Structure 1
Amino acid sequence: MSRITTPFTHDSTAAEVIAGVDLTGRRAVVTGGASGIGVETARALASAGAEVTLAVRNTAVGERTAAGIIESTGNNHVFVAPIELADRASVRAFAASWTGPLHILVNNAGVMAEPLNRTPEGWEHQFATNHLGHFGLTLGLYDALAAAGDARIVSVSSSAHLRSDIHFDDIHFDHRPYEAWAAYGQSKTANVLFAVEAAKRWASDGIIANALMPGGIRTALQRHVPDDVQKAWDRFQWKTVEQGASTSVLLAASPLVPGVTGRYFEDNNEAVPATQDDPRHGVAPYALDPESATQLWDLSEKLLAG
């Protein structure tokens, strides 16, 4: 397969990517749409005429965010619905409440590098939130996505996937020492593998799925990262939230990537293979491995069914 490239770059904004695109009549869900790049992803989609639902933990914050998007875009079809991705009942309730087709699903919400935290099931919380919650949500919305005929699923991953493959023998750190970044990296690898397998399983339904690295953006996502580590990051080339949302918007709505599926993008272009010379860019081979993708899908189904 040839590498997919676009005219957009590291510095492009979501507004630039969405310029000239008409999403009238299309419906979108953005998880974590009330903070960080989720806000700007939702704003860009709304600016192009889409109906956008912000799937959020805090609906009061979500309502304020929705009001701001409505004011800035003139699109009053911006709604808010509650979801707690680490809670299977909450995820099922969101999916069950959805009616009609769904054209765009942006699995954007997440937690990063938090201290060890477990769900009531005993699952490691980052994996449960970043992967299992979105996996369950997407499966729950499958009929709505299939009904759209040409739906797009966008999974927000990270260059942190380069920190860890999936440890199928001990995903939830029951036996190995817990390390926050390894856990985060594993969950971000899972986001890519999910896109790989969804692309394969659902191609006949017209559903495409891709994953992406948004870039380094200063947001509340880093709230668990120690101050000394964050200070050391000051030398990095940070993106604005408007720039950070651009690759999500590209994969969600741009006519430049029709039918492109099962791939991993960064800076608005398909990523190249990662190398040891640059540990912060590119995609790891294990994140695109079709056998691992199938194994993860099957395991995830079993976990959520238990």
Structure 2
Amino acid sequence: MAGRTVLVTGASDGIGAETARALAARGATVHVTGRSADKLRPVAEAVGTEPLIADFSRLDDVRRLAAQVGERVETLDVLMNNAGGTFAPAAKTRDGHEPNFQINHLAPYLLTNLLRPQLTAAGQSLVVNTSSVGNLMGKIVLDDLDYEHRRAFEFPAYGTGKLMNIVFTRGIAQRWSDDGVVSVAVHPGPVGSSFGRDSWLVGLAYRSPLKRWATISVPDGAAPLIALAERGPDPEVNGRYFDRFKADGRERRQASDQAVIDGLWERSAALVELS
């Protein structure tokens, strides 16, 4: 990783923090962002940088983050889109969106597009989108991405966000490959971190004895992300979804539906006001 510049989102704790520390130890210049200043500060200190605070439930924070990254770096070799989680759908974001949709998809979609100049300037670069086997619970309804005409339930809404991560990965692969940008999605496994802390139900499960035998450690969960970052912009991974270290993990059929790939990209661009 020596000589490479990396941005890790969702780096306040869990696999994001672990990934940031590991890549810095391997020689990368690592920048970290998260919503908790108190949690992010020691991670930033460990990797030798200043923390970048941003809350993905606020799209203006995402825009400000992209501007700050642009001030720091001219090129970006690896973008680790790791921020996300599962959220109660009733708690709309500041921008008025269903939170699983905005935080898991819309915010990283906006950030990645705003950082396209830095990714392209690297010559060859990699975007890693942290997805989940939970994508199998998801269903993308292009005419109702924000659940305005149907009721949102937490787990299916989370799964839909994770399905969107794979679809977005394919959208990047199809649109930006001529710029040298490679994209890949990955399920890190059932990590025993603070995942789900914003969800009463998931948080309850993660605080129960279930966590001890049903989850893997944070270092084990970060390992697939680290491996992909080290592999770099390999055309062999472009547009693929990894279940930990195994390519072509189980996914919903929609993930390879061209109408869904194009439709999600275009509707997301309109929602975040990108041309």
TM > 0.5:
yes
Q: Quick one: structure 1 residues 29 and 228, their matched pair in 2 at CA, closer, same or farther if it must change by over 3 Å?
A: closer
Q: Which whole-Å deviations, capped at 9, do the CAs of 1:39-68 have from their partners, x for residues lacking one?
A: 11111110111111111112232111223x
Q: Larger % of helix: which? A: 2
1:225 Cα offset (Å): 4.3
Q: 1:228 deviation in Å?
A: 5.9
Give the 3-state SS of the residue equivalent to 1:175 in structure 2. Answer: coil
CA contact (8 A) 1:52 1:79 kept: no
Aligned to 1:242: 219
* Structure-1 separation of matches of 2:189 and 2:133: 8
Shift of 1:269: 1.5
Matched residues in 1 for 2:50 and 2:143: separation? 41
Q: Which runs of 5+ in 1 are unaligned?
A: 1-22, 71-75, 273-281
Partner secondary structure for residue 195 of structure 2 = helix
Aligned length: 268
Match of 2:269 in 1: 301
Tell whether 2:192 aligns with 1:215. no
Partner of 1:32: 10
Equivalent residues in 2 for 1:246-261, closer than 5 Å: 246-254=223-231, 257=234, 259-261=236-238
| Residue identity matched to 2:140 | I
Distance in 2 (CA, whole Å) between partners of 1:300 and 1:193 is 12
Q: What pairs up with 1:50-65 in 2 under 5 angstroms?
A: 50-65=28-43
Q: Is the 8 A contact 2:57 2:94 kept in 1?
A: no
1:179 counterpart = 2:153: yes
The letter for the 2-side match of 1:284 is: R
Runs of 4+, deviation exceeding 6 Å = none
Contact 2:57 2:95 in 1 (8 A): no
Equivalent in 115, 118, 124 of residue 141 of structure 1 = 115
Over aligned residue pairs, what C-alpha RMSD do you find? 2.0
Alignment partner, residue 6 of structure 1? none
Scaled by the length of structure 2, the TM-score of the pair is 0.90
Question: What is the CA distance between 1:255 and its match in structure 2?
Answer: 5.9
Q: Which residue of 2 aligns with 1:289?
A: 257
Paired letter, 1:147: A
Q: Which consecutive unaligned segments of at least 5 residues does structure 2 have?
A: none
**Could you tell me how far 1:153 is from its partner in structure 2?**
0.1
Deviation of the 1:222 alpha carbon? 2.0
What's 1:158 paired with?
Answer: 132
Q: Which moved more, 1:195-204 or 1:120-129?
A: 120-129
Q: Does 1:91 align with 2:62?
A: yes
- The residue identity in structure 1 corresponding to 2:102 is A
Q: Aligned partners of 2:241 and 2:86: how far apart in 1?
A: 20
Which of 21, 25, 29 is residue 47 of structure 1 equivalent to?
25
User: Given the alignment of the two structures, is residue 104 of structure 1 paired with residue 82 of structure 2, yes or no?
Assistant: no
Amino acid at match of 2:273: A
Per the alignment, residue 265 of structure 1 pairs with 242
Q: Deviations over 1:191-218 (max 9, x none)?
A: 1100001011000011000101110012
Q: Residues 209, 104 of structure 1: CA spacing in aligned structure 2 closer, same or farther, 3 A cutoff?
A: same
**Which is bigger in relative contact order (C-alpha 8 A, separation at least 6)?**
1
